[in-house]
Amino acid sequence: MVRSPDVEKIEVYFKWAIITQDEDDNKFVDCALNGRAHYLVTDDKHFRVLKQIGFPPIQVIRTKDFLLELTKSDE
Protein backbone atom coordinates (compact mmCIF):
# COMPACT_ATOMS: atom_id res chain seq x y z
CA MET A 1 0.00 0.00 0.00
CA VAL A 2 1.29 3.45 -0.93
CA ARG A 3 1.05 6.06 1.80
CA SER A 4 1.34 9.80 1.46
CA PRO A 5 0.71 12.64 3.92
CA ASP A 6 -1.32 14.34 1.17
CA VAL A 7 -3.84 11.50 0.87
CA GLU A 8 -6.72 10.84 3.22
CA LYS A 9 -9.19 7.97 3.03
CA ILE A 10 -12.76 9.22 3.04
CA GLU A 11 -15.73 7.10 4.00
CA VAL A 12 -18.77 7.88 1.88
CA TYR A 13 -21.84 7.92 4.10
CA PHE A 14 -24.27 9.49 1.68
CA LYS A 15 -24.62 9.00 -2.07
CA TRP A 16 -26.03 11.98 -3.93
CA ALA A 17 -26.61 10.41 -7.38
CA ILE A 18 -26.49 13.81 -9.08
CA ILE A 19 -25.02 12.81 -12.44
CA THR A 20 -27.59 10.87 -14.46
CA GLN A 21 -25.89 10.71 -17.87
CA ASP A 22 -22.97 8.65 -16.56
CA GLU A 23 -23.87 7.31 -13.13
CA ASP A 24 -20.40 5.84 -12.60
CA ASP A 25 -19.12 9.44 -12.25
CA ASN A 26 -21.14 9.88 -9.06
CA LYS A 27 -18.50 8.10 -6.98
CA PHE A 28 -16.14 11.03 -7.57
CA VAL A 29 -18.80 13.58 -6.64
CA ASP A 30 -19.67 11.64 -3.48
CA CYS A 31 -16.03 11.41 -2.46
CA ALA A 32 -15.41 15.12 -3.09
CA LEU A 33 -18.49 16.15 -1.11
CA ASN A 34 -17.87 13.79 1.81
CA GLY A 35 -14.20 14.80 1.86
CA ARG A 36 -15.04 18.51 1.74
CA ALA A 37 -12.77 19.00 -1.27
CA HIS A 38 -12.06 22.54 -2.40
CA TYR A 39 -12.21 21.50 -6.04
CA LEU A 40 -13.32 18.64 -8.21
CA VAL A 41 -10.83 18.65 -11.07
CA THR A 42 -12.14 17.13 -14.29
CA ASP A 43 -12.50 17.70 -18.00
CA ASP A 44 -15.44 15.28 -18.19
CA LYS A 45 -18.52 17.05 -19.61
CA HIS A 46 -20.89 15.06 -17.38
CA PHE A 47 -19.74 17.05 -14.36
CA ARG A 48 -21.09 20.31 -15.85
CA VAL A 49 -24.43 19.57 -14.21
CA LEU A 50 -22.81 20.39 -10.86
CA LYS A 51 -22.46 24.03 -11.93
CA GLN A 52 -26.23 24.24 -12.45
CA ILE A 53 -27.30 23.15 -8.98
CA GLY A 54 -27.01 25.22 -5.84
CA PHE A 55 -26.70 22.41 -3.36
CA PRO A 56 -24.53 20.66 -2.52
CA PRO A 57 -21.91 23.29 -3.32
CA ILE A 58 -18.89 21.99 -5.19
CA GLN A 59 -16.52 23.86 -7.44
CA VAL A 60 -15.78 21.98 -10.65
CA ILE A 61 -12.62 23.17 -12.35
CA ARG A 62 -10.94 22.05 -15.56
CA THR A 63 -7.45 20.58 -15.36
CA LYS A 64 -5.73 23.48 -17.13
CA ASP A 65 -7.45 26.01 -14.85
CA PHE A 66 -6.48 24.05 -11.76
CA LEU A 67 -2.86 24.00 -12.90
CA LEU A 68 -3.03 27.78 -13.30
CA GLU A 69 -4.36 28.06 -9.73
CA LEU A 70 -1.46 25.98 -8.48
CA THR A 71 1.11 28.16 -10.23
CA LYS A 72 -0.53 31.32 -8.81
CA SER A 73 -0.21 30.00 -5.27
CA ASP A 74 3.51 29.32 -5.83
CA GLU A 75 4.19 32.97 -6.70
Domain ranges for the chain, please list them: 23-74
H helices of the chain, where? 26-34, 63-74
Mean pLDDT, the chain, as a whole number?
Answer: 87
Give Dmax (Cα) for the chain: 39
- pTM score over 0.85: no
Euclidean distance between the first and final Cα of the chain, in Å? Answer: 34
- Distance from C-alpha of 56 to C-alpha of 5, rounded to nearest angstrom: 27
| Mean pLDDT score, 46-56 | 86
pLDDT tens string 21-50? 999 999 999 999 888 888 899 999 999 998
